[in-house]
Structure 1
Amino acid sequence: MADDEEEGGFGGLYEDGHWVWDESTKALLFVSDLPPQLIETIQVPTKAPTGTVEFRDDVDLIEQIRFRRRYQRKLKPGQAEIITVQDIKDIALYTAPVNILSPMLINMLHLPTTERFIRALVLYCQYYLQIADEMANRIIELETKVRTPQCEIVENEYSNNLSDLRLLVAKEYSTMLIGGGDTKKFHHMGPQKKRRSLSDKDARLFETLLRVCVQIVWLALGRRSFNQIELEMNRLFKSEIFNSVEHMLRTGYVSKMAAEERAVLLGYCVRHDKKLNTRSPLMNDVFCHRDIDYRMMGLGVIKCTQVTPRLLYMMHAVAGSEENLTKLGVVLGIIGMSRTAFDTMLRPLPTGTDTGKSKASMSSTSYSSKSSTTSSMRKSQLATRKLYPDIALPRKESRIMDFPPSFPDEPEDIRPCSETQRRRWQNRLMRLLHPQGHPR
Structure 2
Amino acid sequence: MIRVHVDNYAPKYYSGKWSWDSKKDVLHFEPHNDLEDAKDRYITTNSFKFLRTITQEEELVFRHVFVRSDTTYDTDAVVLNDIRDLVLYFMPREFLTYKFVDFMHHRAVYQLLHSLTIYFEYFLRMVEFVMIRRDELSGSMAQIQSEQTNDMKRVFSMYLSQYRMLVARNYSIIIKGEGDLGKYYHMKEIVNISATIWDKNFHEQFLACSIQIVWIAMHRRAYNIIEMEMNRLFSSEHFVTARMEYPIFTPVEKSLLYGRNNKIVNYRMQVSPLIQELQNPKKEDLPILWIGDRKYRGTDIRIMEMEMEYIVPAPQLRLIDVTHGILGHPKRLYNTILELDWPAVRYSNFSLKHDPYFIVRQPRLAIPKMDATKRCLMAKTYDNFFKINEIYDLPSHALNIKWVKRDKLIKHYRSGGLLTNTLLRAENEVNSTSLGPSVDQIIADYKKAKAKHRKH
Does the pair score TM above 0.5? yes
How far apart are the structure 1 equivalents of 2:252 and 2:219? 28
Bigger Cα Rg: 1
Deviation at 1:228, TM superposition (A): 0.8
For 1:214, the equivalent position in structure 2 comes to: 211
Residue identity opposite 1:269 in structure 2: N
The 1:301/1:290 distance shift into structure 2, 3 A limit, reads closer
Deviation at 1:304, TM superposition (A): 3.2
For 1:103, the equivalent position in structure 2 comes to: 98
The 1:327/1:252 distance shift into structure 2, 3 A limit, reads closer
For 1:430, the equivalent position in structure 2 comes to: 405
How far apart are the structure 2 equivalents of 1:142 and 1:436? 57
Deviation at 1:259, TM superposition (A): 3.8
Of 389, 392, 403, which aligns to 1:416?
392
For 1:28-427, list aligned pairs within 5 A: 51-76=46-71, 79=74, 81-143=76-138, 144-180=142-178, 182-190=180-188, 195-243=192-240, 246-247=241-242, 249=243, 253=247, 256-288=248-280, 290-306=282-298, 308-351=300-343, 389-390=363-364, 392=366, 397-399=375-377, 408=384, 411-417=387-393, 419=395, 423-427=398-402
- Amino-acid identity (%): 23
TM-score, normalization: structure 1? 0.72
Runs of 5+ unmatched residues, structure 1: 1-48, 355-384
* Cα contact 1:299–1:315 (8 A) shared by 2: yes
For 1:8-23, list aligned pairs within 5 A: none
How far apart are the structure 2 equivalents of 1:302 and 1:193? 35
* Cα contact 1:72–1:90 (8 A) shared by 2: yes
For these two proteins, the number of residue pairs brought into alignment is 353
* Cα contact 2:168–2:278 (8 A) shared by 1: yes
Partner-residue secondary structure (3-state), 1:413: coil
Residue identity opposite 1:390 in structure 2: R
Residue identity opposite 1:154 in structure 2: M
Deviations 1:240-287 (A, max 9, x none): 1122xx24x25574xx32343222112221212112111111111211
* Cα contact 1:170–1:283 (8 A) shared by 2: yes
How far apart are the structure 2 equivalents of 1:307 and 1:418? 35
Select between 192-201 and 227-236 the one with higher mean Cα deviation.
192-201
How far apart are the structure 1 equivalents of 2:250 and 2:393? 42
Deviations 1:297-354 (A, max 9, x none): 1111233333744333323443432222111222211101111111111110024999
* Cα contact 1:112–1:414 (8 A) shared by 2: no
RMSD: 3.2
For 1:362, the equivalent position in structure 2 comes to: none
For 1:6, the equivalent position in structure 2 comes to: none
How far apart are the structure 1 equivalents of 2:203 and 2:164? 18
The 1:84/1:289 distance shift into structure 2, 3 A limit, reads closer
Deviation at 1:418, TM superposition (A): 5.1
How far apart are the structure 1 equivalents of 2:380 and 2:259? 24
The 1:162/1:182 distance shift into structure 2, 3 A limit, reads farther
Residue identity opposite 1:415 in structure 2: I
* Cα contact 1:317–1:330 (8 A) shared by 2: yes
How far apart are the structure 2 equivalents of 1:220 and 1:166? 18
* Cα contact 2:316–2:328 (8 A) shared by 1: yes
Deviation at 1:393, TM superposition (A): 9.2
Runs of 5+ unmatched residues, structure 2: 1-43, 347-358, 417-456
